[in-house]
Structure 1
């Protein structure tokens, strides 16, 4: 029997006004109900916003170090629950135990990082143009902010939005993806246990169509931070723009890894495979295109196919290399793209089938998939698949590689494998991506540097993480003091 979980509103765990709930099931074994959650109404969302607005002034006036102390205590509480949350994340979303543990640790580290940053929040002093004057800046919280997060990193992404929002003195209303809401619930349990005042942070579960629009366009919301698909993010940004709310949307990607002849082949295969098949390819920074110089194309293709065929797929809790898709619809979409690739003339080298039999029948498992003979205009080379599907593209030189890398509507993460210093630097200069990597996989982010994309990967307003995360959640007041 699964546990029924409430909405966290004004410091209390309560039921939705609708009285309705929804179940979250294990994608590796759909007979297992992991948890039951409230189907919140727009009225529930508005009540949470009212609580956040009421708590604004007191939280904003709380000294930064005191806010940081609560975040630090939250990090410690999460640390004490790490194994429990790792198992919950695997059961809800399907990640392997190692992937889930890494994500939980990242959330812990993010809260610890912003706990310390809260001590240093302050403006800058500037030289005035006359005597007996002071000129300085003063950062101030925006007010009440709404956070809308996806299912694929269900604790890390909420953490990197929630922690800087609270550190800078904002109050928060938060909506997790309904597919995997449990691990983010733990953030609010930890904040509550750490002594966060009532109303400062509020957690509301339910459908995006019911409460997402309230969080995007409510008159008392001062800023919106969203991560998810480009289609939904564009809609959120348009709704938020109606009354000039500050908005930040991080969205899709079609991330390339360029492989050059000077690069280490083993490194190239490892980087591409980890980026393409890690977390079942369900990452906005996943590597979905390997753009390979023709001189090493055949060797790379043979090696990446061999690597894909060695990966063990199964229940993430059982020590496998790759877990299931999170839902049946995500699995079906990946299989549809496999058909699209074949129809467009690409060669299916390996994978592309749903796994069945034995322990696979009750889950959403798919084989790691590699296509060769892919041309840049094919749909599998242009559209975000969000599954473990790799398109391998041959190019004749470095210039063509960069042109192909840039020839999509997205620009989130890109990498190159090379030992040529000139190629490395030209790639960093010329690639159209918010994250450029040399001799690294496209996935994996440091928490203290900015993260965001170009083109349809982002609203191109504010970055996330590090000091950039603080910048989004604050407004700068310039002070002229004549004494």
Structure 2
């Protein structure tokens, strides 16, 4: 079991202002994986202040220079894929091949973001005056709050943070309270990469810490992946704040459509995968099957047969389909 862990703020591991802790538990076994310090709004203030102070020097670096730190993270993700994949499975409950895939997806995202730093970017715009050049140049926005969910506890944080950091912003990261151990390791990776103090900060905790990030005046942008309810609250909170932006990726009410011309072998297996992979708990999972009346009976019979064969069990067992 991991001992009680702290917040990562301004290049240091700190206990923070609160004394409350919470446990990370394996949902398949009830095993306690670690005890974590619950962050407070005061801890968020300290993290945001550190990120704001670090923003100026960080934005002055070139994209290529900033990306060099990400390459170190990429190499560590690759080297520790099996180890971290098992931790993903033990902490969030999805089966082991998906646990490893979560880490591989994170590595792919970091690879893309760091590699893109060496590509030319920008736009030249036609001008009505022949002798005048007009162009658009993208600039970093400032402190970005990254609030992530439990079901992809390594991949989604890097969706949020890899491009954000390469483009010159600084980060305050609030992971899901169900997967703090994965977040702990992510923070350790950034520390190993030697990012300048304050560029990356992490505050573990619950909704009050997330709310403090959203409402902080020095946070220019909020990136959120999670429930529709919380995403709507974030959008409502920032709707009237000039210059402040939020990008919220929330749950869907997704459908698989089966036409009368569908190949039922493909359709049935695709529908089962979409419904039950990741234990059915991802934003793109199918919650509805819309089946043409001409193939309804045949599809239904075959879907039930395949669904009943889904192996539910220990997510660390390679033969398990659904944790």
Same fold (TM over 0.5): yes
1:218 paired with 2:216, answer yes
Please show how residues 334-483 of structure 1 align to structure 2 within 5 Å: none
Aligned length: 322
**Contact map agreement 2:126 2:134 (CA 8 A) in 1:** yes
1:317 paired with 2:297, answer no
Deviation at residue 190 of structure 1 after TM alignment: 1.4
* Structure (1 or 2) with the larger CA radius of gyration: 1
- Residue 3 of structure 1 aligns to a residue whose secondary structure is strand
The answer for the alignment partner of 1:248 in structure 2 is 247
- Residue 224 of structure 1 aligns to a residue whose secondary structure is strand
**CA displacement, residues 284-328 of structure 1 (integer Å, 9 cap, x when unaligned):** 10011111111111111111111111111111001243444xxxx
Q: 1:303, 1:291 → 2: CA distance?
A: 15
Instruction: Quickly say closer, same or farther: Cα 1:133–1:301, change in 2 above 3 A.
Output: same
Deviation at residue 103 of structure 1 after TM alignment: 1.0
Deviation at residue 125 of structure 1 after TM alignment: 2.0
The answer for the alignment partner of 2:8 in structure 1 is 8
1:24 paired with 2:29, answer no
The answer for the alignment partner of 2:39 in structure 1 is 40
Please show how residues 162-201 of structure 1 align to structure 2 within 5 Å: 162-201=161-200
**Contact map agreement 2:314 2:320 (CA 8 A) in 1:** no
Q: 1:21, 1:150 → 2: CA distance?
A: 19
Q: 1:106, 1:84 → 2: CA distance?
A: 15
**Contact map agreement 1:24 1:35 (CA 8 A) in 2:** yes
The answer for the alignment partner of 1:93 in structure 2 is 92
Deviation at residue 191 of structure 1 after TM alignment: 1.7
- Residue 295 of structure 1 aligns to a residue whose secondary structure is coil
1:228 paired with 2:226, answer yes
Instruction: Quickly say closer, same or farther: Cα 1:302–1:165, change in 2 above 3 A.
Output: same
Q: 1:303, 1:101 → 2: CA distance?
A: 30
The answer for the alignment partner of 1:410 in structure 2 is none
Q: 2:62, 2:218 → 1: CA distance?
A: 24
**Which of 1 and 2 has higher RCO (CA within 8 Å, sep 6+)?**
2
Q: 1:172, 1:243 → 2: CA distance?
A: 20
- Residue 141 of structure 1 aligns to a residue whose secondary structure is coil
- Residue 3 of structure 2 aligns to a residue whose secondary structure is coil
**Contact map agreement 2:154 2:182 (CA 8 A) in 1:** yes
- Residue 137 of structure 2 aligns to a residue whose secondary structure is strand
The answer for the alignment partner of 2:263 in structure 1 is 264
Q: 2:133, 2:21 → 1: CA distance?
A: 57
**Contact map agreement 1:154 1:180 (CA 8 A) in 2:** yes
- Residue 139 of structure 2 aligns to a residue whose secondary structure is strand
Structure 1 unaligned residues grouped into runs of 5+: 325-483
The answer for the alignment partner of 1:354 in structure 2 is none
**Contact map agreement 1:25 1:33 (CA 8 A) in 2:** yes
RMSD: 1.3
**CA displacement, residues 334-374 of structure 1 (integer Å, 9 cap, x when unaligned):** xxxxxxxxxxxxxxxxxxxxxxxxxxxxxxxxxxxxxxxxx
Q: 1:214, 1:235 → 2: CA distance?
A: 13
- Residue 136 of structure 1 aligns to a residue whose secondary structure is strand
**Contact map agreement 1:64 1:121 (CA 8 A) in 2:** no
Q: 2:150, 2:226 → 1: CA distance?
A: 9
**CA displacement, residues 395-435 of structure 1 (integer Å, 9 cap, x when unaligned):** xxxxxxxxxxxxxxxxxxxxxxxxxxxxxxxxxxxxxxxxx
Q: 2:318, 2:27 → 1: CA distance?
A: 16
The answer for the alignment partner of 2:297 in structure 1 is 298
Instruction: Quickly say closer, same or farther: Cα 1:2–1:196, change in 2 above 3 A.
Output: closer
Q: 2:66, 2:313 → 1: CA distance?
A: 42
Q: 1:85, 1:40 → 2: CA distance?
A: 24
**Contact map agreement 2:310 2:322 (CA 8 A) in 1:** no
1:50 paired with 2:46, answer no
Q: 2:5, 2:174 → 1: CA distance?
A: 14
**Contact map agreement 2:24 2:179 (CA 8 A) in 1:** yes
Q: 2:291, 2:247 → 1: CA distance?
A: 34
Q: 2:40, 2:183 → 1: CA distance?
A: 19
Instruction: Quickly say closer, same or farther: Cα 1:213–1:273, change in 2 above 3 A.
Output: same
Q: 1:311, 1:3 → 2: CA distance?
A: 37
Deviation at residue 132 of structure 1 after TM alignment: 4.2
- Residue 257 of structure 1 aligns to a residue whose secondary structure is strand
Deviation at residue 225 of structure 1 after TM alignment: 0.9
The answer for the alignment partner of 1:136 in structure 2 is 135
- Residue 248 of structure 1 aligns to a residue whose secondary structure is strand
